[in-house]
C-alpha cells in the first residue's frame, strides 16, 4: 500500500525551505528511500486506486453515482482541474476536492509519496508536518 499526503488546497505548493524542513522531519519518521516529495505543473487527482469504494456529498451525505462523479471529473479535467466546483445531484454547490470519498482522495500539485506503508504517521506527527508546511494536509491510502 502506498500513502500520499497532500495539501487540503489543491494548488498549494510549499516553499523550498518548507519542503526541506519537511524532508528532514520525514526522515525521522519514515525511510527516506521510500519517501518522495513531488511537485507537478498541473493539479492532479490523487486517488486511492483499488481502495475506491464510494463518494458522497460533503454537505448532506447523499451518495453520488459513479457515472455522475465520472462525468464531473471529465468536465473538471477539461480545465486541468483548475475548476473543481460542481453542482451535485442533490443540488448542492461544492468542490470535487471536498466531496466525502470513502477512503480519502483529493487534488494536488504537491504530493508526499511514501511507498513503504509500514509506519503510519500519528496525529501528532501529522500536526507537526502541517505546521512545517503551513497547510492542513490530507492522508490518502492507495492500493495499485
Is the C-alpha dihedral spanning 110, 3, 139, 122 positive or negative?
negative
Q: Where are the domains of the chain?
A: 1-52+107-144, 53-102
Q: Which residues contact 131 (CB under 8 A, 6 or more apart)?
A: none
User: pTM for the complete prediction?
Assistant: 0.93
- Joined grid coordinates for residue 135: 497547510
d(CA 138, CA 118): 18
Please check whether the domain covering 1-52+107-144 is classified as CATH 3.30.1540. Answer: no
Instruction: Quote the pLDDT of residue 118.
Output: 67
pLDDT in tens, 3-51: 999 999 999 999 999 999 999 999 888 777 688 999 999 999 999 999 9
Distance CA 10, CA 84 (A): 9
Residue 117: the pLDDT is 59
The string of pLDDT tens digits covering residues 67-126 is: 999 999 999 999 999 999 999 999 999 999 999 999 999 999 999 998 865 667 789 999
Amino acid at each position: 500500500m502506498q500513502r500520499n499526503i497532500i495539501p487540503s488546497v489543491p494548488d498549494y505548493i510549499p516553499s523550498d525551505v518548507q519542503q526541506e524542513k519537511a524532508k528532514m522531519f520525514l526522515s525521522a519518521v519514515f525511510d527516506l528511500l521510500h519517501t518522495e516529495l513531488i511537485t507537478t505543473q498541473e493539479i492532479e487527482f490523487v486517488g486511492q486506486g483499488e481502495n475506491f469504494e464510494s463518494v458522497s456529498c460533503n454537505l448532506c451525505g447523499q451518495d453520488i453515482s459513479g457515472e455522475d462523479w465520472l462525468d464531473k471529473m471529465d468536465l473538471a479535467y477539461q480545465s486541468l482541474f483548475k475548476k473543481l466546483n460542481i453542482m451535485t445531484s442533490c443540488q448542492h454547490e461544492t468542490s470535487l476536492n471536498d466531496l466525502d470519498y470513502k477512503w480519502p482522495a483529493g487534488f494536488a500539485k504537491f504530493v508526499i509519496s511514501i511507498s513503504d506503508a509500514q509506519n503510519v504517521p500519528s496525529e501528532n506527527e501529522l500536526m507537526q508536518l502541517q505546521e512545517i508546511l503551513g497547510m492542513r494536509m490530507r492522508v490518502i491510502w492507495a492500493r495499485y
